Structure 1
């Protein structure tokens, strides 16, 4: 990337030869990725950008605290730190979890006791006042929400987490800023430099041309993708909401701003960046303006810059897209393993809920087969629920292979989880109904969607048992798939829908707040002493699953889970080929008993196996293997265990 003369110039920026060697060796390693991607996006402008970026990286490198430099060295020695089976994630809103950042710091014992090593605090950088899309309309990336604390509080929390081996994860919204952001204010004031940070059009000619192929993200309360702004004197590209202005990443200055922001926040102790709305950042006429090739080049360049300064940092792509598009966020061909370190396996979550409703795993099998292998140095983020709605991301192709009509099945799932379908166990709320497409997404807590809310209201112990088993089965799949399992705050306590969201003016229009409750610390203290309660059973069961996972090397994320064809449509079978031996996972997605032919498991595991979850020994002879309702097995050969 840089020849001998520039290297000599850079050496003068260091007082210590060892620091100079470290920086220049990293530059030599990641420089080609950085330069190649910048050239691919910006062409002749890349060299000038690279010069300015080098100054930004040098400044951040000199400013990096000593304990974070030590973390960098540790991560370079163990590059699979995000892939190990003991990596357990937890997602929470800081205010809903503990009020403030200092409050979060007072509950680290709780997180550590749960086995958490990865804490994702939902958007906490300073958003616009009032409605702000749950914090994703950022007004200032270098400040924390005033009610949560200060940037120094964030650094202190990061240090406290780091001392317990927990990585702080933060959202970085890449596609847009709040219209109150300094850049947008300067653009409205007529500053030509900052107007070029955004997409502003004087009339409807170009917006109408783009709209012909653009989908709508929030058709209910934010139809269309452009908003007229009087002060700016034009139509502003606003994919998500009128108060969120899309950024123009074709401008190298925007890239430089975000590279600087990433390094600044990394030096504050952020270890994983969730790259929010990453799929949308490059605009191209005649397309959906999602998943464009420049997105992957830009991400690779940002990652290379971060690796040079702070190799202890990782990227997670928030790309909720089809499998054929999703794999590019982890890297394919020349980008293989060089884009993001982690991506959401959204399909796994969707298929869990689909299969719990249908009691049929055929669609699950087809959806998993559609995923190409990921780079071995990357990992999936898996989850039962998250802060967002559930969009029924089921392709017509996968549905057809499973003998289903895709549109009809998506309609069934919306009816089922809103409680409209006869016999449904679920309590959910329809989110963003789109009459043009029939699309109905779903809000609801994991426990309410799994049937616990309705069962408790009915006072039916049998239905409560089924709901508890569904919750634990869903988490067993997530914990066993191979990646970073992400537990959503309150799910470990089987917390139900919070219908009080309607009483908060800024939350009332958005029913996703029904599954964003405040943490019930009284319940958290009580569950240990109430082991027979639904919350106690879920909590104990989940903690057991986590403990088993932590000691199961077969669950290292470098290993893929592969579908094994199941002779019973109610049962999902997954196989993992680890150097220590084969693991076969068995999941009964029904409230009925199932008997599996013993030879099916013997063919994979040999005659003798042990279930890591239950500790039971199995001998696969002539008798079938009996599965209780919603039973999960993680089977390994007994010879492997010694």
Structure 2
């Protein structure tokens, strides 16, 4: 029996005592362990397990991003992934697949059912057998049309005390808002009018985690997801979880403690499960969700998408280099989740302190010229501030800040992904990036929601026709990205926790060095982020002269280190001391 046997009960009790100091933590612990189907003396998992390596990559998609008449969308998705994506990714994030009332799934009506318009639990389980399955855990809020909220209005259990309330006279002036809608919504209940907290929309009513019964409810929900094959948990909007009037109501200590508790329970139940926090906030705040390697296993690298976008449309990598140098290496057992696009917009709060207001305005104006929209949030003193850019990533790359649209759109787009795939962390790619989907103006007009511009729904037959057309950009981009993903899998220097150092080759070439954990492989990533050719000497990047070097992307070999290297517009080189990489 492990020396750590019995540690679980103690750890859970300590977490709960910090969250609910006025409650009986011993009784709550027993109920939490029962809800998770865990024995009090369950042995602790080994610390810093090998949860990922360079072969890991995540595909982000809605369950109905691809549809075919007469077929469940989840089955259509599975079929298309098997045919066109294959082993290039090993993990799939199915965005909320539950019954919902708004926000394309993020206003959950029933956490334990699959939306019938998508399929059934057997379809979810089938996906989990072929891919590492990632699911959203929508913790902060639930639908105003769900059973819980109906019970809240009737003042019945379960649900009566499941939702956060406030008095309009409370001091809410410091509350951090991601939206411009009213924070409080009046609701008629069986006991009179109550004002419920709505961080995101009146249909997404914030949950009351000050009530331990709600937390226990979610512990049970998590256990059910694990039983259904979920191995990666995206904790949606978790930063806003705990509310205390008179504070910003974001990143509060109780929120961090709840994440620690859920990690403790999850890793004891399923040691290879992973928690990923989704906190679209300034960079320094985002980093706090690693805790002391005891909160999130991985955090979304939110500053990367807007910074890399700015770099490529401005042709200047100064800010990207400064940011990269400031990023601490992820501790053992933790990792960054790198992404460039998702179902949401490109967040602007993660740019705070990284770009000047003038540079942010330049970026916004450029994206609007390329067909994008800008969503706003409520700031202090009732001012509205830009919150995110809504645009497909492919269309965001169609030109530059100064020159407008140009002929380099595909090259710029591939360049962005080639950089992202080489960075420290686990890569995640949105399905509409893999397919080079453009802005969906019809869907935007139909829903009136800015985010719809980047939530296209492909007809499977139309998609197949596009992918069979050699003159179409869609198969070209897909082939390029799949080749990069497959090549990446053989590079131990691209392990998510391999060493990374920023290089300084001016403002037109963004460069960094990766070295494998066993130090056998080094890769120098050199990216021309401009529309002009860039020439450099290999001696400038301190290659080891006794080694032979290959560009993994072009196949070129470099024997003379005093030779020059010329990068075409938006070309990237992966210079490795191992030809082709390492056989797995």
Instruction: Supply the distance in 1 between the matched residues of 2:35 and 2:394 (Cα, whole angstroms).
Output: 47
Specify the SS of the correspondent of 2:354. Answer: helix
Matches within 5 A, 1:282-297: 282-297=242-257
| 2:142 paired residue among 177, 197, 202 | 177
- Judged with a 3 Å threshold, the aligned counterparts in structure 2 of structure 1 residues 565 and 186 are, in CA distance, closer, same or farther, namely same
Contact in 2 for aligned 1:610/1:617 (Cα 8 Å): yes
**Partner of 2:414 in structure 1?**
472
Contact in 1 for aligned 2:500/2:514 (Cα 8 Å): yes
**Partner of 2:57 in structure 1?**
88
Contact in 2 for aligned 1:573/1:587 (Cα 8 Å): yes
| 1:389 paired residue among 345, 350, 363 | 345
| 2:432 paired residue among 471, 482, 490 | 490
Shift of 1:110: 2.5
**Partner of 2:329 in structure 1?**
373
Specify the SS of the correspondent of 2:327. Answer: coil
Contact in 2 for aligned 1:493/1:523 (Cα 8 Å): no
Shift of 1:522: 4.3
**Partner of 2:175 in structure 1?**
214
- Judged with a 3 Å threshold, the aligned counterparts in structure 2 of structure 1 residues 102 and 544 are, in CA distance, closer, same or farther, namely closer
- Judged with a 3 Å threshold, the aligned counterparts in structure 2 of structure 1 residues 229 and 25 are, in CA distance, closer, same or farther, namely farther
Shift of 1:143: 0.9
Matches within 5 A, 1:317-466: 317-331=277-291, 336-393=292-349, 395=351, 397-399=353-355, 406-419=356-369, 426-432=370-376, 436-439=383-386, 441-451=388-398, 463-464=406-407, 466=408
Specify the SS of the correspondent of 1:271. Answer: strand
**Partner of 2:109 in structure 1?**
139
Instruction: Supply the distance in 1 between the matched residues of 2:473 and 2:459 (Cα, whole angstroms).
Output: 15
- Judged with a 3 Å threshold, the aligned counterparts in structure 2 of structure 1 residues 139 and 527 are, in CA distance, closer, same or farther, namely closer
Specify the SS of the correspondent of 1:195. Answer: coil
**Partner of 1:52 in structure 2?**
31
Specify the SS of the correspondent of 2:230. Answer: coil
Shift of 1:323: 2.4
- Judged with a 3 Å threshold, the aligned counterparts in structure 2 of structure 1 residues 302 and 433 are, in CA distance, closer, same or farther, namely closer
Shift of 1:547: 1.5
Matches within 5 A, 1:207-246: 209-210=171-172, 212-219=173-180, 222=181, 224-231=182-189, 233-246=193-206
Contact in 2 for aligned 1:142/1:151 (Cα 8 Å): no
Q: Is 1:614 matched with 2:554? A: yes
* Structure 1 stretch displaced more, 528-537 or 511-520: 528-537
Structure 2, unmatched stretches of 5+, are: none
* Structure 1 stretch displaced more, 288-297 or 99-108: 99-108
Q: Is 1:251 matched with 2:195? A: no
Shift of 1:433: 7.3
Specify the SS of the correspondent of 2:347. Answer: coil
- Judged with a 3 Å threshold, the aligned counterparts in structure 2 of structure 1 residues 168 and 26 are, in CA distance, closer, same or farther, namely farther
Contact in 2 for aligned 1:26/1:307 (Cα 8 Å): no
Cα deviation digits, residues 439-498 of structure 1 (max 9, x gap): 263111121111189xxxx9x9xx44x111011111111211132211211322212111
What TM-score, normalized by structure 1, do the two folds share? 0.82
| 2:531 paired residue among 580, 591, 599 | 591
Shift of 1:417: 0.9
- Judged with a 3 Å threshold, the aligned counterparts in structure 2 of structure 1 residues 140 and 533 are, in CA distance, closer, same or farther, namely closer
- Judged with a 3 Å threshold, the aligned counterparts in structure 2 of structure 1 residues 280 and 627 are, in CA distance, closer, same or farther, namely same
* Structure 1 stretch displaced more, 355-364 or 44-53: 44-53
Cα deviation digits, residues 381-424 of structure 1 (max 9, x gap): 2122110011223555434xxxxxx11111111001111xxxxx
- Judged with a 3 Å threshold, the aligned counterparts in structure 2 of structure 1 residues 603 and 95 are, in CA distance, closer, same or farther, namely closer
Contact in 1 for aligned 2:57/2:427 (Cα 8 Å): yes
Specify the SS of the correspondent of 1:229. Answer: strand
**Partner of 1:7 in structure 2?**
none
- Judged with a 3 Å threshold, the aligned counterparts in structure 2 of structure 1 residues 614 and 57 are, in CA distance, closer, same or farther, namely same
User: Would you tell me which structure has more helix in proportion to its own residues?
Assistant: 1
What TM-score, normalized by structure 2, do the two folds share? 0.89
| 1:204 paired residue among 168, 184, 187 | 168
What is the count of residue pairs matched by the alignment? 566
Specify the SS of the correspondent of 1:316. Answer: strand
Instruction: Supply the distance in 2 between the matched residues of 1:634 and 1:32 (Cα, whole angstroms).
Output: 48
- Judged with a 3 Å threshold, the aligned counterparts in structure 2 of structure 1 residues 370 and 437 are, in CA distance, closer, same or farther, namely farther
Contact in 1 for aligned 2:62/2:94 (Cα 8 Å): yes
Shift of 1:106: 2.9
Instruction: Supply the distance in 2 between the matched residues of 1:306 and 1:493 (Cα, whole angstroms).
Output: 34
